[in-house]
Amino acid sequence: MDTVCTPVNKLDLEHFIAENDSFKYGIIDKENKAVIDFKYDNISYFNSGDESNFIYLAQLGDKIDIYTKDFKKLDISNISMVYWLKDNIFSYLDSSNRVHIYDITSNKDEVYAEEYNFVYFYTDDLAMVSNSSGKYGYINSSKDEVVSLKYNYSATEFINGYASVCNVSDSGIDCGVIDKTGNEVISLKYDDIYVLGNDNFVVKDGDNFYIV
């Protein structure tokens, strides 16, 4: 059956987010057929910059349903927020403020310790985590904490075995580099630092930048 609605957002050459005369949102194809039913208060999408990583967030009241790029509804019922999406894996916060990582390909849903309010994606087999006090550290794929949550300003993902970490001190922001064991291979003394890979780093010291 054709759907009487008004397209509001073109998604690709064949699909549109649309609103019906009851002010409910769904998604239609180019034949005006609903591929996601018109029952939501809002529909948005979430991607990581390429077409292979794409999910739809469909909201009804306080409830969020997740659909894949093929319009398949995932069997998750307690999502309050989606954090990130990469390689068909995304992180979300549930209604009890627990962080999950969900693998769309395998339908595997992992929940993380209550002390973490954010878990980033894994690189070099480690994931950056943070807590409600604003401290950052790292866990491995077994969820063991391998770098304690002691950095109070920022921490990046690992690149070729290294990550940049920063603390706030009385003198300002102090940044350095750690390896996968948590050893500080560059002391926290720079204004900013970037991991380039191949054991090269760009450091910012005042108004000057150096490669070390």
Locate 60 and state its tokens: 């009804």
**Predicted TM-score of the model (pTM):** 0.82
Q: What band does 4 get if pLDDT is binned at 50, 70 and 90? A: low
CB-based contacts of 152: which residues, under 8 Å, 6+ apart? 134, 135, 136, 167, 168
CB-based contacts of 84: which residues, under 8 Å, 6+ apart? 48, 90, 91, 120, 121
| Structure confidence by residue, pLDDT tens digits, 168-205 | 988 899 999 999 999 999 999 999 999 987 788 999 99
| Structure confidence by residue, pLDDT tens digits, 99-157 | 999 999 999 999 999 999 999 999 999 999 999 999 999 999 999 999 999 999 999 99
Which of 61, 57, 53 has the alpha carbon at shortest distance from 76?
57
Q: What is the mean pLDDT of the chain?
A: 92
